[in-house]
Amino acid sequence: MKVAVVVFPGSNCDADVAHAVEVTVGASVEMVWHASEFLPAGTDLVILPGGFSYGDYLRCGAMAARSSIMKGVKRFASSGGLVLGICNGFQILTEAKMLRGAFLPNRTLSFICRPCALRVERDDTPFTLRYKAGQVVRFPIAHHEGLYYLDKDELDAMEKRRQVVFRYATPAGEVTDEANPNGALNNIAGMVNEGGNVLGLIPHPERASEPVLGSVDGALMWQSISEWIKGGGAH
The predicted structure's pLDDT at residue 232: 80
175 contacts: CB under 8 Å, gap ≥ 6: 119, 167, 168, 169, 187
Q: What is the pLDDT of residue 233?
A: 72
The active-site residue, picked from 34, 143, 144, 204, is: 204
Predicted local distance difference test score (pLDDT) of residue 187: 98
CA 34, 38, 43, 45 torsion: positive or negative?
positive
Active-site residue, from 87, 121, 143, 145: 87
SS (H, E, C) the chain: CEEEEEECCCECCHHHHHHHHHHHHCCEEEEEECCCCCCCCCCCEEEECCECHHHHCCCCCCCHHHCCHHHHHHHHHHCCCEEEEECHHHHHHHHCCCCCCEEECCCCCCCEEEEEEEEECCCCCCCCCCCCCCCEEEEEEEECCCEEECCHHHHHHHHHCCCEEEEECCCCCCCCCCCCCCCCHHHEEEEECCCCCEEEECCCHHHHCEHHHCECCCHHHHHHHHHHHHCCCCC
Question: Would residue 206 show up in a list of annotated catalytic residues for this protein?
Answer: yes
- For residue 235, the model assigns a pLDDT of 36
Question: Which of 95, 121, 145, 206 is the catalytic position?
Answer: 206
Q: Dihedral through CA 200, CA 14, CA 146, CA 122, nearest 10? A: 30
CATH of domain 2-230: 3.40.50.880
**Regions of the chain where pLDDT drops below 70:** 234-235
Produce one character per residue of 34-47: b if its CB has 16 or more CB atoms within 10 Å, e if not. beeeebeeebbbbb
